[in-house]
Structure 1
Amino acid sequence: ELGGAQQNTLWTVRHLDRRSFEPYLITNDQGLLVQQAKAIEGLGLYLLPELVREIDPRRDLAALRKITSILKELKGRGGPMIVHTHSSKAGILGRWAGWLAGAEGIIHSIHGFGFNDYQPWPVRRFFIALEKATARITHRFIAVSEANIKKGVRLGLFPPEKAVLIRSGIEVARFASIKVDPRRKRRELGLREDLPLVTMIACLKPQKAPLDFIRVAQGVLKEVEASFVLVGDGLLRPKVLEAARRAGIDGSFHLLGWRWDVEEILAATDVFVLTSLWEGLPRVIPQAMAAGVPVVATAVDGTPEAVRHGVNGFLVRPRAPEEAARYVTSLLKDPEKARKMGQEGRKTAWEFDVGDMVKRQESLYADLLERHHLSASDTKSSGRHAWPKPT
């Protein structure tokens, strides 16, 4: 999927300072971003078919063994090694592999937790226990939202001093400066050019509650004529299409699949919607903000840290599509209010600039190595030992 964790991982390994770091990426061999990873200059890439999203004890054990073997081989080349993991299951396997391989630094980025309030309690309890055990071998946590840090501390996963806030970055300038004729873009997408456009960008999985977006569209269309597009794909695709058909809105609703022109779509959008049940802090929200689009989103986890209710958008309860529909309708009926809210969002979008994300990660890596009496760069001038570039 074209998720924020995946895209930001690629951005990091592409832009890490090669004078100080030697990046390697271990990931699954399938997906929309594999070809991009293969094209990154100076990146050591390992593609493992065993590393899958679903829980599969046999394949998970095989993945753990293979990742550990790779890391031990890299460690044997000399120099310190930092293991930085993303996503829930890969984060568990990767951190234990790093520990088994003797990595000097183990870091995990939290893009939302692998457990949530919608899971059966025994399942949620198991995942929390697994995260607690793995947290003991984790030197630092990077969180994309303050909400995730507070939740981790409250659950006893880590003390506050072990976590740092680094926003999930976007190319703010690219989204803020894109020049698109909205009417022409709508025609290109097969939409009526004279109707306002409401957009949601998300993977079609339970976390994002895409069926609620159908209900939002159904509610809005009772009051205002508009087009609705959902950019993304996933396991709920058949249910989304069936829900749109049953709601009688399939003429106004368009499922576009994954797209590489989201900045152009956002530039042609009047209101952005996100119906997630839980999150870290989704990148699509600051992307919409940078594009000057007001946001109507569920008030979950880190989302209220970006969307200020009544200022640059509106926040609603999860599983409350009728409430979201009312706010979307109000913005479509009052384009001037929508424009002003979009301008307010654009003012604060720079907090999420991707350049700052990489710089802060590099600083964290260097700090972690210093704490292990190592250095991430040539330190001869300071009288300390100059180690090889960390992996």
Structure 2
Amino acid sequence: MTHTICHIITKLELGGAQEVALYTVANLDRARFRPVLLTGPGGLLTEEAKALPGVEVEIVPALGREIRPFRDVLAFLQLVRLLRRTRPTVVHTHSSKAGVLGRWAAWLTGVPIIVHTIHGFGITPTQPAWLHWVVIGLERLAGRITTRWIAVAQANVEEGVRWRLFDRARVAVIRPGIDPRPFQAPLSSRERDRVRAELGAGPRDLLVGMVACLKPQKGPHDFVEVAARVCVRVPSARFALIGDGELRAMVEARIQALNLAGRVRVVGWRRDIPDVVRALDVFLLTSHWEGLARVWLEARAAGVPVVATKVGGAAEAIVEGRHGRLCDVGDVSGLADRLCEVLTDAALRDRMRAAGGQLPAEFDIREMLAQCEQLYDKLLTSDRGGDLVPDHRAAESIRYARRGE
């Protein structure tokens, strides 16, 4: 007996939520689950998704991140059509846009089990208050039809409870794990020097890097401002932004304006991220909001000290003073101070490096998959805590009979 599990995500760009969704559909137990993935067009990972064996991938042409009422209605209708065709037992949504449209499309088409993963709430202090309440209101409405929520960090659970999106009985914490092994493998001195040279650093320089999509969430402008302050105080410091995105031109213009072209480099996306992370002296993440950033875990697995903003589950992944240093969102001066402390204290870096390396099992991507499958099994045998769903064909007959199909 197999159940169709349909994951819906707005766009398969390079990012943690996307990698979690791809890993899940690629590795679900085929004896129990049939994976389907619905996504908007244009993502860098779309072709990789289409190549996954045994995974049905469908593009939703009108689905995108921007709020465009006409296209959003069209995307909703396209989701309804695809769900009626694929007939899933479980719909599992990721990200804000796909989370709202996907859950309501699942409800309209009679899907009995609706799961939504919170990869961080996209609400920041810089946004107007009215927008906060619009987002919270939409999530509250969608929460009424959500069977179970998944939070990637306990901090997100507390936010959701405070905003009355759900009660604690309806949310499970499942970490967005990584495979730590590539980050723990030794990197030869020759390879390390090669990667560092490609990132703009020599063997004796202190290399600070950030792997991120260059979009407002990640605060790449803050990264540049921190670099400007640190370069004055630490002459050997070099900075590398590994990633691309909508803010790249703005970031590069700011680097030129601050005369940092020889000290700060934007290198675009690379496929050798484990090598890149292991080649760094410090990992800097200037995010304005997160759930639980997988790059924190990657840096920790590699034994690279982390300086980051205190967003989402940062304190759950990075222990202050042990694996790195944490600062308030947007505190450029504070981030620069903490980064200088780490860069100028080799003994501190060594202690932080020694504290990393081994990750708790909860942060392993294989544990994430196992917990997700266990959650599906629990929901499938309880059907929202009411009638059992003992037979896939019977469940489908019940769901679609009310539409006369």
TM-score (norm 2): 0.90
1:209 to 216, 219, 237: 219
In 1, the alpha carbon distance for the partners of 2:297 and 2:394 equals 34
Provide closer, same or farther for how the CA distance between residues 366 and 350 of structure 1 changes in structure 2, counting only shifts above 3 A: closer
SS in 1 for 2:232: coil
Residue among 73, 92, 97 paired with 1:61: 73
Deviation at 1:172, TM superposition (A): 1.0
Amino acid at match of 1:310: G
Q: Deviations over 1:87-143 (max 9, x none)?
A: 100110110111011111100000011333321111111111111000000010101
Counterpart check, 1:91 vs 2:99: yes
Match of 2:348 in 1: 337
Does the 8 A contact of 1:21 with 1:389 survive in 2? Answer: no
Q: Which amino acid counterpart does residue 172 of structure 2 have in structure 1?
A: V
Which residues in structure 2 correspond to 1:1-391 (within 5 Å)?
1-75=13-87, 81-181=89-189, 182-224=192-234, 225-348=236-359, 350-372=361-383, 373-374=387-388, 385-387=390-392
Name the residue aligned to 1:382: none
Q: Deviations over 1:321-367 (max 9, x none)?
A: 22111222222222221121122132345431100001100010111
Identity of aligned residues (%): 43
Whole-angstrom CA distance in 2 between matches of 1:322 and 1:116: 19
Structure 2: runs of 5 or more not aligned: 1-12, 397-405
**Inter-CA distance 349–334: structure 2 relative to 1 (3 Å threshold):** farther
Task: Say what the alpha-carbon RMSD is for the aligned residues.
Answer: 1.7
> CA 1:24 to 1:228, structure 2 compared with 1: closer, same or farther past 3 Å?
same
Report if aligned partners of 2:123, 2:132 keep a CA contact under 8 Å in 1: yes
Contact 1:28 1:51 in 2 (8 A): yes
| C-alpha separation in 2, matches of 1:374 and 1:20 | 17
Residues 201 and 302 of structure 1: CA distance in aligned 2, closer, same or farther (over 3 Å): same
Letter of the aligned partner of 1:127 in structure 2? V
- Structure 2 counterpart of 1:192, one-letter code: G
Distance, in Å, in 2 between the alignment partners of 1:37 and 1:347 is: 30
Give how far 1:156 is off.
0.4
CA distances 1:204-245 after superposition (whole Å, capped 9, x unpaired): 122211111111111111121121001111111111111111
Larger deviation, residues 329-338 vs 275-284: 329-338
Any idea what SS the aligned residue of 1:297 has?
strand
Q: CA deviation at 1:306?
A: 1.1
Tell me the CA shift for residue 16 of structure 1: 0.4
Kept after mapping to 1: 8 A contact 2:310/2:329: yes
Report if aligned partners of 2:153, 2:173 keep a CA contact under 8 Å in 1: yes
- For 1:370, the aligned partner's letter is T
- The answer to whether the 8 Å contact 1:299/1:317 transfers is yes
Pair 116,326 (structure 1): closer, same or farther in 2 beyond 3 Å: closer
Report the CA distance between 1:191 and its aligned residue: 3.2
Q: Which range is displaced more, 107-116 or 85-94?
A: 107-116
User: What residue is the counterpart of 1:380 in the other structure?
Assistant: none
Secondary structure (helix, strand or coil) at the match of 1:23 reads strand
Secondary structure of the 1:31 match is coil
**Cα distance between partner residues in 1 of 2:101 and 2:177:** 25
Farther-moved stretch of structure 1 (334-343 vs 156-165): 334-343
**C-alpha displacement at 1:390, in angstroms?**
9.3
Instruction: Provide the TM-score with structure 1 as the length reference.
Output: 0.93
**CA distance in 2: counterparts of 1:88 and 1:119, whole angstroms:** 16
User: Are the aligned partners of 1:82 and 1:390 in contact in 2 as well (CA < 8 Å)?
Assistant: no
Query: 2:183, 2:298 within 8 Å by CA — same for their partners in 1?
Result: yes
Q: 1:258 to 1:389 in 2, by over 3 A?
A: farther
What amino acid does structure 2 have at the position aligned with 1:209? G
* Separation in 2, partners of 1:145, 1:288: 18
Deviations 1:23-50 (A, max 9, x none): 0000012111011101100011101221
